Amino acid sequence: MDGLGFWLFSGITLIAFCVKAPGLRDTRSPLYASVCGVLLLSGLLYGCSNPDVIGFLNDVTGVPNFAAPLVYGLLTAVSALVLTLLIYWRGGPPEQARRTALWWLIIYGLVIVAEIVMFVLGDASVERRVDLDTYYARTPFIREMILLYLLAHTSAAIMAASLCWRWVAEVKDPPWLRRGLRVLICGFFLNLCLDASKLTAIGARWTGTDWDFLNTKVAVLFEGLCLIVTSIGFVVPHVGPRLGSVYSTVTAHRALRPLWQLLHRATPTIARSLPLRWWNIDLRLTRRIAEIHDGRLALRPFRDARVAAFATAQARELGLTPDDTAAVVEAAVLVAAARSKAIHTHPPAGIGDTPVGDDSPLQRAALVRASRMLRNSPIVSAARAYAREQEASTHGSATRQDR
């Protein structure tokens, strides 16, 4: 990851923190505070991990590798806050969650202090901006500092993955929470891959082998992937339901188009003249459903009970479910009614006298099924032909009676 990548990750998380931070004034929720803490420290961590920033901090303080305990301390703190976040997010007795979170914060706080002590006791006089872990892999005290932060980071990833794994087994609803937890498990697994790469490179140094690419290349790749995947995992449970709702709304709006077009051609006055913004999909769907209901009412006098009976018989022969039967009957009756209205100014004799189904407003799902039947069902085509035959037969009988 080059300097631009560090700036990008740092900027995104710090912007997210700035968006969330004002809410701290209105809530005492430890979960909300944990989220803000993770965002703030993650932004600082990625900013301080930038090789250019590392060099700047070392130059300003006059201490070679001064940035090392700072970055390791921030990483350890983020690990602790992620565990705290998961503990509060999972819920349970508030006092127990607070006590568990406090213990983890104390333990990881002591780890940070130990890292600083190890750095002070060790000798890291040669500045290393990207390969400090392997360069000082055999240096007393600096070696222990490196192993300490990796141990803390690995332990946090294992415990976080374990928490999410048990939580997934317990959670049934909402589904987006389960999906988010599964993504988080993948993210923490990538975390373990990152630590394994670094530990393998360090172990190779102990045996006199140079596998530094595992630290400077492979681990950095896992670091970026881990950030992306875990961020998605935390966001999915909150954003997923809305995205699912938008997708469902857009799908329903498109699926209702054939039915709306049929009714609009039969009764153009159902269409409202008030324009709507294209992105206001909820209101657009609401208006489309309302116009469909108006169109169905406008065709009520032209609904033919014979067409309904024909479509019902055809649906039963094909073994359709009750919902699909109702949908195909509605579609067939509306197609025939629209044709009849286009031909006749007033309903022909015998049509509209017998109630045909329930012409009260239908649920969205029922309308969607009826609209899809308009395009896909052979029963609707057969019912259209049947309606023409009935009309021709009725017209012929009326002509003979007039004679």
Distance CA 182, CA 45 (A): 25
User: Measuring CA to CA, which residue among 117, 32, 7 is closest to residue 72?
Assistant: 117
Question: Can you give the pLDDT at residue 273?
Answer: 65
Residues 250-267 have pLDDT tens digits of: 999 999 999 999 998 888
Instruction: Name the one residue in this structure whose structure tokens are 């579609």.
Output: 331
DSSP tag of 352: S
Residues 161-183 have pLDDT tens digits of: 998 998 888 877 778 888 889 99
Domains and CATH numbers, the chain: 3-240 (1.20.1070.10), 257-402 (no CATH)
Residues 289-331 have pLDDT tens digits of: 999 999 998 888 888 888 888 899 999 988 899 999 999 999 9
Distance CA 18, CA 178 (A): 28
Distance CA 247, CA 260 (A): 20
Q: Classify 175 as helix, strand or coil.
A: helix
Task: Look at residue 200 and tell me whether its pLDDT is greater than 80.
Answer: yes
User: Measuring CA to CA, which residue among 128, 144, 136 is closest to residue 55?
Assistant: 128
Instruction: Name the one residue in this structure whose structure tokens are 């395009």.
Output: 375
Question: Can you give the pLDDT at residue 207?
Answer: 92
Question: Can you give the pLDDT at residue 399?
Answer: 42
Confidence (pTM): 0.76
User: Measuring CA to CA, which residue among 21, 16, 49, 29 is closest to residue 224?
Assistant: 49
Question: Can you give the pLDDT at residue 403?
Answer: 42
Task: Look at residue 243 and tell me whether its pLDDT is greater than 90.
Answer: no
Question: Can you give the pLDDT at residue 401?
Answer: 46
Q: Which of 58-67, 188-197, 226-235, 250-259 has the lowest mean pLDDT?
A: 226-235
Distance CA 119, CA 121 (A): 5
82-96 b/e with 16+ CB inside 10 Å = b?
A: bbbbbbbbbeeeeee
